[in-house]
């Protein structure tokens, strides 16, 4: 008997393309947020990192692109927030010049920190520097229990993170209204098809606050519960476990149309270390650049030459967008609804 070859189904045959799920094209609003990925060098190599950052990566911002970004920040008052990420943004070229330019122009500055960078040689000044410039710190702490954190981020990371949070508290973070300290929760990566949505953000925040205060005397402002999107190391992990397709199907089955109005890609531009422009950080990591209505790929330099930030009409989407629209939604600022 001749065995028939089984041809695996394509993703498009089992997942509704995200653009087809929407009644209308996903369009940009006025741009108010500039999220800048300063590079991929990091002192950690977390298992869930969608950037695939690590100490072995060398990519980072150039002086030329740094100056273009500073000019962009100075030129457009509509930019309200400058959001710095990486890698570990504090260890990458351009971090301090961009912080200072943004603060001098009245922007809120966010730095997405892994906290452990404070204990690396040459970076012990960062907590005081951030306090001096009233930088909002959004810190990764994917669980309030040590085992889960060390499993995702490396041995000893939890203890270092606790010491860093206590350090920030001593500087006034989490207490002074000008020194905002937020934490980020990421779920554990699934080992089976028994998927679940991100827990309720408000109740999880309360659990974090009670535990960290009782055990370590730590206080903070907000918890952001973020869904793991199937890109970067998360995608590689899911593929190894043969869970990538089932996970996408799970996310699609929990699509919530009321999240669409609040998606972070609507009012932000994501910039990479080369100066290329994307609709969001996730599109950046999947190399899905933003384009004008003429199909032209955007760069920071082109935005400067055009004299406007609002050149993009329709946002480019992909299957992983279901991660931002499942359940209560997900963004770099936590749940959406």
Place of tokens 């590689």: 236
Per-residue three-class SS string for the chain: CCCCCCCCCCHHHHCCCHHHHCCCCCECCCCCEEEEECECECCCCCCCCCCCCECCCCCECCHHHHHHHHHHHHHCCCCCEEEEECCCHHHCCCHHHHHHHHHHCCCEEEEEECCHHHHCCCCCCHHHHHHHCCCEEEEECCCCCHHHHHHHHCCCHHHHHHHHHHHHHHCCCCCCCCCCEEEEECCCCCCCCCCCCCCCHHHHHHHHHHHHHHHHCCCCCEEEECCCCCCHHHHHHHHHCCCHHHHHHHHHHCECHHHHHHCHHHCEEEECCCCEEECCHHHHHCCCCCECCCCCECEHHHHHHHCCCCCCCECCCCHHHHHHHECCCCECCECCC
Cβ 218 vs Cβ 166: under 8 Å: yes
Distances (CA, A) of 123 to 43, 63, 134, 160: 11, 20, 17, 14
- Write out pLDDT tens, residues 270-280: 999 999 999 99
- Angstrom distance (rounded) from CA 149 to CA 141: 7
- The least confident of 6-20, 43-57, 68-82 is 6-20
Residue 268 has pLDDT above 90, yes or no: yes
Q: Which two tokens stand for residue 78?
A: 């509509």
List the structure tokens of 219: 């206080």
pLDDT in the model for residue 11: 65
| Strands of the sheet with 136-140, listed across from one edge | 222-225, 181-185, 136-140, 108-113, 81-85, 33-37, 268-271, 277-278
- 6 pLDDT higher than 50: no
Q: What is the mean pLDDT of residues 154-163?
A: 94
Local confidence band at 320 (pLDDT 50, 70, 90 cut-offs): very high
What distance in Å separates the CA atoms of residue 59 and residue 38, rounded to the nearest whole number?
8
pLDDT digits (tens, 9 = 90+) for 178-233: 999 999 998 889 999 999 999 999 999 999 999 999 999 999 999 999 999 999 99
pLDDT digits (tens, 9 = 90+) for 128-155: 999 999 999 999 998 998 988 888 888 8
What CA–CA distances, in Å, run from 25 to 18, 248, 261, 337? 10, 21, 12, 21
pLDDT number for residue 137:
98
């Amino acid at each position: 008997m001749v065995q028939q070859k089984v041809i695996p189904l394509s993703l498009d045959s089992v997942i509704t393309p995200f653009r087809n799920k929407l009644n209308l094209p996903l369009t940009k609003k006025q741009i108010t947020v500039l999220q800048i990925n300063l590079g991929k060098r990091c002192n950690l190599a977390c298992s869930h990192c969608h950037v695939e950052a690590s100490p072995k990566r060398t990519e980072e911002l150039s002086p030329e692109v740094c100056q273009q970004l500073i000019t962009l920040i100075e030129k457009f008052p509509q930019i309200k927030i400058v959001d710095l990420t990486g890698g570990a943004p504090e260890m990458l070229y351009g971090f301090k010049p961009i912080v200072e330019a943004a603060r001098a122009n009245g922007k809120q500055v966010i730095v997405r920190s892994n906290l452990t960078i404070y204990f690396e040689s040459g970076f012990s000044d960062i907590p005081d520097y951030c306090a001096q410039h009233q930088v909002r710190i959004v810190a990764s702490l994917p669980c309030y229990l040590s085992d889960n954190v060390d499993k995702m981020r490396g041995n000893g990371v939890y203890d270092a993170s606790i010491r860093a949070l206590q350090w920030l508290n001593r500087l006034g973070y989490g207490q002074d209204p000008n020194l905002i300290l937020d934490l980020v929760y990421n779920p554990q990566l699934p080992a089976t098809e028994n998927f679940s949505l991100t827990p309720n953000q408000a109740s999880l925040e309360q659990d974090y606050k009670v535990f960290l205060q009782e055990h370590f005397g730590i206080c903070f402002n907000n918890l952001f519960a973020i869904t793991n999107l199937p890109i970067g190391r998360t995608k590689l992990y899911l593929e190894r476990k043969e869970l990538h397709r089932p996970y996408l199907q799970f996310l699609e089955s929990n699509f919530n149309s009321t999240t669409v109005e609040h998606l972070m890609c609507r009012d932000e531009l994501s910039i990479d270390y080369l100066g290329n422009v994307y609709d969001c950080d996730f599109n950046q990591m999947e190399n899905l650049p933003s384009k004008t209505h003429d199909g032209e790929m955007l760069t920071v330099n082109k935005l400067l030459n055009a004299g406007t930030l609002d050149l993009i009409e329709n946002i480019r989407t992909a299957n992983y967008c279901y991660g931002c629209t499942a359940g209560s939604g997900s963004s770099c600022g936590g749940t959406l609804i």
